[in-house]
A and B are shown apart, each in its own frame.
Chain A
Amino acid sequence: MSVYPEHRPAGQGEPFVFTAEMKAKADAHIAKYPAGRQQSAVMPLLDLAQRQNGGWLSKEALAHVADILGMPVMRVYEVASFYTMYNLQPVGKNLVQVCTTTPCWLRGSGDVVAACEKHLGIAVGETTADGKFTLREVECLGACVNAPVVQVADDYYEDVAVSHVPGLLDALGRGETPKAGSLIGRQTSAPEGGALTLKDIPAKQGA
């Protein structure tokens, strides 16, 4: 029997209300839509709520968003359970998402997952006892050029090798935010080690 606990919002035991700052952002999103269509703002509002609530949406948070948008909480719940990036269960402070879709996998993401599991002492889908890390396998993050990719919060760590894993996780564990992007010093998605072509373009063309 397939049971999906990740589809069931947990309670957080206390009321959820947007902070003044978040409320202002929420209002800005709502203002994008014509009157009577404020329900269109449900996804950004859920995102704001998730950010405020430590990375997950409690049933109190769902109720608060439903309340603001004047929509039935069931409809909000449908949206929140449809998208995998909304978490309905508490997650660790750092949600480590390792991409294991084909390009990343071909470039060794399987080893990266194993290294994360070994370093954190948890299996995929679990949270460490100190609540600092949740490890998750995810589908394509859309940065295949620099595979393998690991996402933590809003940052992508690219070109991740097994050797990078301990340093990266330790820094995150200390509460630091390691520099995002390629871990091997690649400039965006330019070739590894610098440009390989178009090196001989004359300074001035035509003439």
Chain B
Amino acid sequence: MPKVTVDGTELEIAAGSTVLQACEVAGVEIPRFCYHERLSIAGNCRMCLVEVEKSPKPVASCAMPINEGMVIKTDTPMVHKARKGVMEMLLINHPLDCPICDQGGECDLQDQALGYGFDKSRYSENKRAVKDKNFGPLIETHMTRCIHCTRCVRFSTEVAGVPDIGAIGRGEHMEITTYLDAAVGSEMSGNVIDLCPVGALVSKPYAFTARPWELKKTESIDVMDAVGSNIRIDARGPEVMRVLPRLNEDVNEEWISDKTRFAYDGLKRQRLDRPYLRENGKLREATWDEVFLAVSAKLKATAGDKIAAIAGDLADAESMYALKELFVSLGSKNLDCRQDGAKLDATSRASYIFNSGIAGIEQADVVLLIGTNPRLEAPIVNARLRKRYLMGGFKIASIGPALDLSFPLESLGAGPQTLSDLAAGKHGFAEALKAAKNPMIIVGQGALARADGSAVLAAARKLAEASGVVKDGWNGFNVLHTAASRVGGLDLGFVPSLNKDGQGGRDVAGILEGAQSGAVEVVYLLGADEIDNTKLGKAFVIYQGHHGDAGAHRADVILPGAAYTEKDGTYVNTEGRVQRAKRAAFPLGEAREDWKIVRALSQVIGKTLPFDSIQQLRAKMAAAHPTFATLDALLPATWGSFGQEGSMDGAAFRTPISNFYMTDPISRASVTMAKCAEVQSSRSKDTGTHG
């Protein structure tokens, strides 16, 4: 490894590194605007100038590879003078509108102008002003502030794979824009807001609402999809003002999807802030005492096998655990957390998690997608697949609907028939999968949430076993979930349990069938809004949740719960990674944290659950389900036999998500997401000359 000297300190650094990276290793901070470690090097802002011995001019450190024996100086009069010159040039056309700029307080240019700026401008001519552009409903533009670092252009081209942003014109007339002012067509376009080092691209929903220093920052976990992106929730008082990504190399790197970032305005609409009780066919406001008495009377009067519970997609593990314990004590076996009816096997953990981990995608060389559209179901996973594609030597194919994933892939077929062909080796791709060093199979809910899902799962397992997808040191059998609560629910066994004689409880389909026939009289919905409510028949429906969505409309009793920003909760992402979300604001009105509601209800019923605090609950949960004892880590799951071999019908796999922007009660209530969905649908209708 070459040796270089940075400010008198000698260090060894990997060949091929840049001068800037060497300086970072040495602990020297180099100012920069255009350089970003996850994007290609542009070298156009010139802010990172350093002095290199024997070089007559200052050197742009971000773009200069190191050489053996290089002597780098970052704190000389020449460096300071050079950087001050660059800063003066950058500020020639940058407006002095920090007091009304949303970036103020967290602006790279502002911060670095403090170090390298002059106290006054020597430029007396008019500043350049640029017309603002349309980037869609999420990104507000103030293009006069743009310093042309091209981070947004490189992000959209490289990471998102949607090259909608570009730089037109040149020199003084250069402008950043989308093609003909169309909205950016990426599911993760909001990341350019974080990347923009100035206030040119800022969040439209957040515009002019808060200053960064007045926000309370809470590190939490996202629930809009099953990725479990690490987020920071910025709240002012009771109101969530914005959601930002948090760095986690294993999960979301530093990106989040637009739904994660912008659905928060749904937290302010259609909220359930007090209990309701249905009387004479109409919901009326009620007190906690009233609703608890009503629920407890109903539950006590009904036999255990006639009550059922369904956990929704946003439920935290604590509330599911509490509800399961309560229902077990009431003698019910009718529990299910798989609203979509996916035939997931809760007995074998390897069968329902993303075994390789999201970061494991970078090791895979051949990937087979079965009934999944990762771009809509988990844009962060898709970004990781694209990252792998860009590394080269990567082959990816799909069985299912036609996909546009922002990188090329082979479409093998539409349904189970192709899967059978592949398993029988009748398809060319089977060879590629077998020959691969680290083959990977990603099974989506589109392949499992169907009547023959169990057979599909078994077929996928057999293919995995036959193709070396599961071997020593590598398990590339992955299930991609769409719901944040799903893996947690399966880990907790929130599924129909079996009797001693093998007679099972009812799953979601069984519960709905029972509700229609009268075999199930009480249904407890823990935030379950994605089931077919018309099939609930005459059942007495208890809805516990935070939004007046489908479930609440059908409910006979509403217990107002807390949204994910308003409670401490445990979520298990699709990889099986146990992560803790933290409360950023208090639940609205009389709403309470979900596990507390279940705990309080258990007391009224007379089956008091044995925990009084979330710590006690978590200790009990971890004792009963050991996977919950390890946070933020992947536990390898034991491979086993799962799925039920059988005949698969010929129907094509469908995509479980048709509208990316509206998949859960929060995003359905969000005006921002509604605008995005509108833009999306107008784009897909646009067949003419748009590009």
Residues of A within 8 A of B (CB): 1-4, 7-9, 11, 15, 59-60, 63, 66, 72-75, 77-78, 81-82
Please judge, given known A-B contacts A77-B168, A78-B167, A82-B168, whether A2 and B173 are in contact too, CB under 8 Å.
yes
User: How far is B129's CA from A77's CA once the two chains are assembled, in angstroms?
Assistant: 22
Write out the residue numbers on chain B whose beta carbons fall within 8 Å of the beta carbon of A66: 691
Please judge, given known A-B contacts A7-B168, A63-B689, whether A1 and B180 are in contact too, CB under 8 Å.
no
Write out the residue numbers on chain A whose beta carbons fall within 8 Å of the beta carbon of B157: 72
**Interface residue B164 (Cβ < 8 Å from any Cβ of A):** yes
**Interface residue B685 (Cβ < 8 Å from any Cβ of A):** no
User: How far is B167's CA from A63's CA once the two chains are assembled, in angstroms?
Assistant: 17
**Minimal beta-carbon separation of B592 from chain A (angstroms):** 50
User: How far is B168's CA from A74's CA once the two chains are assembled, in angstroms?
Assistant: 9
**Minimal beta-carbon separation of B517 from chain A (angstroms):** 56
User: How far is B691's CA from A147's CA once the two chains are assembled, in angstroms?
Assistant: 42
Please judge, given known A-B contacts A4-B173, A4-B175, whether A75 and B166 are in contact too, CB under 8 Å.
yes
Instruction: Tell whether, in the assembled complex, residue B130 and residue A2 are in contact, meaning their CB atoms are under 8 Å apart.
Output: yes
* Chain B window 157-194, contacts with chain A (Cβ cutoff 8 Å), 1 for yes, 0 for no: 10000011111111001010011100000000000000
Write out the residue numbers on chain B whose beta carbons fall within 8 Å of the beta carbon of A2: 128-130, 173
Instruction: Tell whether, in the assembled complex, residue A82 and residue B179 are in contact, meaning their CB atoms are under 8 Å apart.
Output: no
Write out the residue numbers on chain A whose beta carbons fall within 8 Å of the beta carbon of B170: 81-82
**Interface residue B131 (Cβ < 8 Å from any Cβ of A):** yes
User: How far is B650's CA from A142's CA once the two chains are assembled, in angstroms?
Assistant: 69
Sample of 8 A–B contacts (CB below 8 Å): A1-B129, A3-B131, A63-B689, A74-B165, A75-B166, A78-B167, A78-B168, A81-B168
A3-B131, A63-B689 given; name 20 further pairs at CB < 8 Å: A1-B129, A2-B129, A4-B173, A7-B169, A8-B180, A11-B689, A15-B689, A59-B180, A59-B689, A60-B689, A63-B691, A66-B691, A72-B157, A73-B179, A73-B691, A74-B163, A74-B166, A75-B163, A78-B167, A82-B169
- Chain B interface size band reads 20 to 34
Write out the residue numbers on chain A whose beta carbons fall within 8 Å of the beta carbon of B169: 4, 7, 81-82
> Among the listed B129, B130, B179, B689, which residue makes an inter-chain contact with A74, where contact means beta carbons less than 8 Å apart?
B179
Write out the residue numbers on chain A whose beta carbons fall within 8 Å of the beta carbon of B165: 74
Write out the residue numbers on chain A whose beta carbons fall within 8 Å of the beta carbon of B173: 2, 4, 7
Please judge, given known A-B contacts A11-B689, A81-B168, A82-B169, whether A72 and B163 are in contact too, CB under 8 Å.
yes
User: How far is B689's CA from A118's CA once the two chains are assembled, in angstroms?
Assistant: 39
User: How far is B168's CA from A26's CA once the two chains are assembled, in angstroms?
Assistant: 24
The closest CB in chain B to the CB of A12 belongs to B689
User: How far is B198's CA from A169's CA once the two chains are assembled, in angstroms?
Assistant: 50
The closest CB in chain A to the CB of B144 belongs to A1
Residue among A2, A7, A66, A75 with the highest chain B CB neighbour number at 10 A = A2
- Classify the interface of chain B: helix, strand, loop or mixed: mixed
**Minimal beta-carbon separation of B179 from chain A (angstroms):** 5
Write out the residue numbers on chain A whose beta carbons fall within 8 Å of the beta carbon of B180: 8-9, 59
The closest CB in chain A to the CB of B131 belongs to A3
User: How far is B166's CA from A102's CA once the two chains are assembled, in angstroms?
Assistant: 34
**Minimal beta-carbon separation of B586 from chain A (angstroms):** 45
Write out the residue numbers on chain A whose beta carbons fall within 8 Å of the beta carbon of B130: 1-2
Write out the residue numbers on chain A whose beta carbons fall within 8 Å of the beta carbon of B689: 11, 15, 59-60, 63
Residue among B163, B173, B689 with the highest chain A CB neighbour number at 10 A = B689
User: How far is B168's CA from A2's CA once the two chains are assembled, in angstroms?
Assistant: 14
Instruction: Tell whether, in the assembled complex, residue B168 and residue A1 are in contact, meaning their CB atoms are under 8 Å apart.
Output: no
Write out the residue numbers on chain B whose beta carbons fall within 8 Å of the beta carbon of A4: 169, 173, 175
**Minimal beta-carbon separation of A4 from chain B (angstroms):** 6
Write out the residue numbers on chain B whose beta carbons fall within 8 Å of the beta carbon of A8: 180
Write out the residue numbers on chain A whose beta carbons fall within 8 Å of the beta carbon of B163: 72, 74-75
Q: Tell me the residues in window 486-544 of chain B with beta carbons closer than 8 Å to chain A beta carbons.
A: none
Residue among A3, A60, A82 with the highest chain B CB neighbour number at 10 A = A82
User: How far is B690's CA from A15's CA once the two chains are assembled, in angstroms?
Assistant: 12
Write out the residue numbers on chain B whose beta carbons fall within 8 Å of the beta carbon of A72: 157, 163-164
**Minimal beta-carbon separation of B581 from chain A (angstroms):** 38
Write out the residue numbers on chain B whose beta carbons fall within 8 Å of the beta carbon of A59: 180, 689
Write out the residue numbers on chain B whose beta carbons fall within 8 Å of the beta carbon of A63: 689, 691
Going nearest first, the 10 A-B pairs with the smallest beta carbon separation are: A81-B168, A72-B163, A74-B166, A1-B129, A73-B691, A74-B179, A78-B166, A82-B170, A7-B169, A7-B168
